[in-house]
Amino acid sequence: MPELPEVEVVRRGLVSWVLGRTITGVDVVDPRSVRRHALGPEDFAGNLEGATVLDIVRRGKFLWMPLQEAGAVAGEDAEPPKVALMAHLGMSGQLLMQDNAEPDEKHLKVRLWLSPRDGMPGQLRFVDQRIFGGLFVTSLVPTDDAGPGGLAEKPLPLIAEEAAHIARDPLDPHFSFGDFYRRLRSRKTGLKRALLDQGLVSGIGNIYADEALWRAKLHYARPTDTLRRAEAERVLTAAREVMLDALEAGGTSFDSLYVNVNGASGYFERSLDAYGREGEQCRRCAASGIVSLMRRDMFMNRSSYTCPVCQPRPRNGRW
DNA sequence: CTGATTACCTGAATGC
DNA sequence: TGCATTCAGGTAATCA
């Protein structure tokens, strides 16, 4: 499933294939994939037709394209963009570049025709089996925090409305560890719940949360108000590193025809240390000659994988 | 504010 | 074989 590294790979692919092109036609194949566009599929299409893609921005797993609307003045006298095409891949979403002659994918949901460009496919397609993801047009609003937005080619002091409540992600150069730690300490909750809270730090999903906790040797239920600064740094650094590892692994093929969103990135073919390893030897303990089998618990209605030896559960105020 | 629950979806895997 | 159930996941809305 697409996680932050995969979304970043998509963003880079879109920069290569879509930046500066104009949307010449819109085909909503399945209206459920634009259900977050409140005014309906026709309004969605009407907003996009004739619009030009000015930038590709990501924060956490939200990805959006600020648009120069149809008929707007371009160049030096251009006004700042007011709207953006927002995309969230959900669990199974893909953005693919395709030639016009290519047959529809089984789960094709939205087709965008793009202005011709030499050697480049004519369509950007949104394909999504499970429909947790979607596209919609949204307003750009000023950011409340100083500095540019999330990762972008040319950072804008504007942010998509639906991403305004999302915290910066660990790969964002403007991510503030100090702010994160202060807010983390003020919560009365478990560490994994905090890591998954997109308002505190964005981009971390269930898999990378487990991987980061394993690398940091911390338990998912560790109360956030007991975390020492070094421990919080450890888990944040681990999250950043595991995502950078995945980005490196998944970023190798984005120069292909596809904007590259293969549901499973290269990283998932590599070995994860925690996620999905129930009953298997903890790799770190094994390296020390200790026998410890990874366990799976249900937490927040989803699976959490831990090593009982090097990630002991906190109890009675002792950790 | 926090957390618990549910809706949103499909297809693979499992159970009987 | 076939039919029913379970599970996976991110986000948002709702409720306690």
**Per-domain residue ranges for chain A?**
4-163, 177-306
Q: What superfamily would CATH give domain A4-163?
A: MutM-like, N-terminal (3.20.190.10)
Active site residues of A: 2-3, 61, 302
The confidence score (pLDDT) of residue A302 equals 82
Residues with Cβ < 8 Å from A223, sequence gap 6 or more? A188, A189, A190, A191, A314
Kindly list the protein residues whose beta carbon lies within 7 Å of any strand B atom.
A 32, 35, 91, 106-107, 129-132, 186-190, 193, 300-301
- Give strand pairing partners of A293: A281
| B10 nearest neighbour residue (CA to C1') | A130
Domains A4-163 and A177-306 are alike in CATH topology: no
The SS3 of residue A199 is: coil
A46, pLDDT greater than 60 = yes
> Considering only CA atoms, which residue is closest to the C1' of nucleotide C10?
A90
Distance of A287 CA from B10 C1′ (whole Å): 40
Please tell me the predicted confidence (pLDDT) of residue A51. Answer: 97
pLDDT of A251 above 60: no
- For the domain A177-306, what is the CATH code? 1.10.8.50
Q: Compute CA distances A184 → A38, A149, A294, whole Å.
A: 34, 22, 27
Statement: the pTM of the whole predicted model exceeds 0.75: yes
Percent with pLDDT over 90 in chain A: 46
